[in-house]
C-alpha cells in the first residue's frame, strides 16, 4: 500500500527563531516517518506513544511541532496518541549539523536520512494544539543529494549537461502536479535535462539515486530591504556596505554559499569558488503557505534551476544551469494570473537544483508571512 504523508512544521507567531528540534527514536541513522499519529516532543519529552496497530507498537516523537497527515493510520501501522506542548523553539535545532551563518540568517541540516519506509510502528502523540504558538524565523524543507553524473552510477542531469551559463525556461509546465511536484514539459532536445524519468527523480525519494534530509533555512529581518522584509541569503557577491551587489546593514558574514549536504549523502565533493571542497549535486524542495493581505513580494536569487509556484501556478521560471539569476513576484501585479485574492491562504512551493560546480547560491527576500514553517510530503510504502 502506498500513501502520501505531509509533515507540517508549526505555524508562525513571530519571525524570531525556528521551532523544530532534532530527530530521535531513529534506527539505522534514518528519520522514520511511519504511519500512526502526529509527533509531539523530542526524546525525553512528555508526548505519549502512539497506539499500536497492525504494524506494531507506537514509538516516541521525532520533531517537536510536526504534524503528519495520513489516510487510514490504522492500516498503515497504528494510530497516534496524545501529547503535551513542544519544548521552546531554538536555533539551531538540536542535533542538526552543517550549521552555517550566512550573509542573512543561517542554514542547518538534520544528518538523519529521511526514510520513506512506514507501517512498522505508530508515531508519538500530537502537540496538544499548542504548536500554534510556536515561533519560527524561516522554513524547513527537503534537500536530496545526488551523485554527480561524471561518476560511476551518477545522475545524468548533474554536472555533465551542456549548454551551461544560460537560463532555460520551459523545462516544467506552468501548473504544479497533483502530487505537489513540478511536471516535466518535455522541452526540446539540446537543453540541460535528459529525460522525464530522470527529471522526476529530482524531487522524489528514490533509493540508490538520491538521499533525502531535512534542511532548515533561518530567516532574519533585512533592514536594507524595506519594511517587513525577511531574508535568507547564502550567496556570493552579497556583502556589507553600499554599492552594486551590496546590502547596507548586512551582518558580519560578508559573502557566503549554500552547501547543506557537506559530509552527508554520497559526499562526492568538488572544489568550489571559495577554494574548499563541497558536496554539490543536490536539490531543495520547500512547501509552505501564507495569507495574502496585499502588497507582498517574493524574490529569489541563485543558481541553478529555480521554480517558484504560488497557488500551484508557476510564478518564477529560472531553469537551466547558470550563474546567479534573480526574479521577483509582485503578488498584486500577478494576482489575476495566479488566481489569488486578498484575505485568503495560498500554497507556496520552491524548487531549486544545484547541478554544477563551482558555485551554490540560494537567496530569498520576501514580505510574505508564512502560516507554517514548512510542509514535507513523504511517500509511505
Give yes or no for residue 239 having a pLDDT over 60: no
Give yes or no for residue 229 having a pLDDT over 80: yes
Q: Which residue has the cell 554599492?
A: 243
Residues recorded for the chain: 381
- If you ran DSSP here, which 8-state letter would residue 237 be given? T
Give yes or no for residue 308 having a pLDDT over 60: yes
Q: What is the dihedral of CA 357, 145, 310, 376, to 10 degrees?
A: -160
Q: Name every residue whose Cβ is closer than 8 Å to that of residue 298 and which is 6 or more positions away in sequence.
A: 308, 310, 315, 316, 328, 329, 331, 348, 364, 365, 366, 367, 368
Nine cell digits for residue 301 = 536569487
pLDDT, tens digit (0-9, with 9 covering 90-100), for 125-153: 222 223 333 456 578 999 999 998 788 88
pTM for this predicted structure: 0.76
Q: Secondary structure of the chain: what % helix, strand, coil (to 5)?
A: 5, 30, 65
The Cβ of residue 303 has, within 10 Å, a number of other Cβ atoms equal to: 26
pLDDT, tens digit (0-9, with 9 covering 90-100), for 52-104: 333 333 332 333 333 322 223 333 333 333 333 344 457 888 899 999 999 89
Q: How far apart are CA 224 and CA 91, in angstroms?
A: 23
pLDDT, tens digit (0-9, with 9 covering 90-100), for 18-63: 333 222 222 223 333 222 223 322 233 323 223 233 333 333 233 3
Of 101, 375, 149, nearest to 252 by C-alpha is: 101
Q: Which residue has the cell 512528555?
A: 46
DSSP one-letter string for 161-202: -SS-SS--TTSB-SB--TTSSPPB--PPTTSS---HHHHTTT
Half-sphere CA count of 314, side-chain side, radius 13 A: 21
Q: Which residue has the cell 507540517?
A: 8
Are 299 and 364 in contact by the 8 Å Cβ rule? The answer is yes
Q: Name every residue whose Cβ is closer than 8 Å to that of residue 61 and which is 6 or more positions away in sequence.
A: 24, 25, 39, 40, 41, 42, 43, 45, 47, 83, 123, 124, 125
Give the mean pLDDT of the chain: 72
Q: Which residue has the cell 503557505?
A: 289
Nine cell digits for residue 204 = 522524489
Rounded to 5 degrees, φ, ψ at 141 are: -150, -160
Q: Which residue has the cell 506552468?
A: 174
Amino acid at each position: 500500500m502506498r500513501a502520501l504523508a505531509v509533515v507540517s512544521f508549526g505555524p508562525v507567531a513571530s519571525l524570531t527563531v525556528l521551532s523544530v528540534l532534532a530527530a530521535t527514536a531513529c534506527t539505522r541513522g534514518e528519520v522514520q516517518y511511519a504511519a500512526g499519529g502526529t509527533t509531539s516532543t523530542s526524546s525525553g519529552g512528555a508526548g505519549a506513544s502512539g497506539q499500536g496497530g497492525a504494524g506494531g507498537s507506537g514509538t516516541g516523537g521525532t520533531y517537536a511541532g510536526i504534524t503528519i497527515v495520513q489516510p487510514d493510520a490504522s492500516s498503515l501501522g497504528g494510530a497516534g496518541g496524545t501529547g503535551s506542548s513542544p519544548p521552546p523553539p531554538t536555533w539551531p535545532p538540536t542535533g542538526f549539523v552543517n550549521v552555517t551563518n550566512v550573509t542573512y540568517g543561517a542554514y542547518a541540516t538534520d544528518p538523519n536520512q529521511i526514510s520513506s519506509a512506514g507501517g512498522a510502528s505508530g508515531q508519538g502523540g500530537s502537540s496538544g494544539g499548542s504548536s500554534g504558538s510556536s515561533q519560527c524565523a524561516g522554513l524547513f524543507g527537503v534537500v536530496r543529494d545526488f551523485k554527480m553524473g561524471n561518476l560511476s552510477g551518477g545522475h545524468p542531469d548533474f554536472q555533465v549537461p551542456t549548454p551551461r551559463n544560460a537560463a532555460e525556461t520551459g523545462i516544467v509546465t506552468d501548473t504544479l502536479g497533483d502530487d505537489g511536484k513540478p511536471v516535466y514539459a518535455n522541452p526540446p532536445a539540446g537543453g540541460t535535462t535528459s529525460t522525464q524519468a530522470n527529471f522526476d527523480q529530482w524531487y522524489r525519494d528514490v533509493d540508490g539515486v538520491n538521499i533525502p534530509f531535512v534542511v532548515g533555512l533561518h530567516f532574519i529581518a533585512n533592514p536594507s530591504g524595506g519594511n517587513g522584509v525577511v531574508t535568507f541569503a547564502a550567496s556570493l557577491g552579497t556583502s556589507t556596505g553600499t554599492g552594486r551587489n551590496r546590502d547596507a546593514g548586512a551582518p558580519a558574514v560578508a559573502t557566503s554559499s549554500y552547501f547543506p549536504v557537506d559530509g552527508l549523502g554520497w559526499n562526492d565533493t568538488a572544489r568550489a569558488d571559495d577554494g574548499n571542497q563541497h558536496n554539490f549535486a543536490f536539490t531543495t524542495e520547500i512547501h509552505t503557505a501564507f495569507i495574502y493581505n496585499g502588497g507582498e513580494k517574493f524574490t529569489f536569487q541563485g543558481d541553478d534551476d529555480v521554480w517558484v509556484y504560488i497557488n500551484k501556478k508557476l510564478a518564477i521560471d529560472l531553469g537551466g544551469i547558470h550563474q546567479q539569476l534573480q526574479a521577483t513576484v509582485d503578488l498584486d501585479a500577478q494576482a489575476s494570473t495566479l488566481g489569488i485574492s486578498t484575505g485568503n491562504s495560498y500554497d507556496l512551493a520552491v524548487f531549486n537544483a544545484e547541478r554544477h560546480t563551482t558555485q551554490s547560491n540560494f537567496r530569498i527576500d520576501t514580505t510574505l508571512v508564512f502560516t507554517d514553517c514548512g510542509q514535507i510530503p513523504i511517500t509511505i510504502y
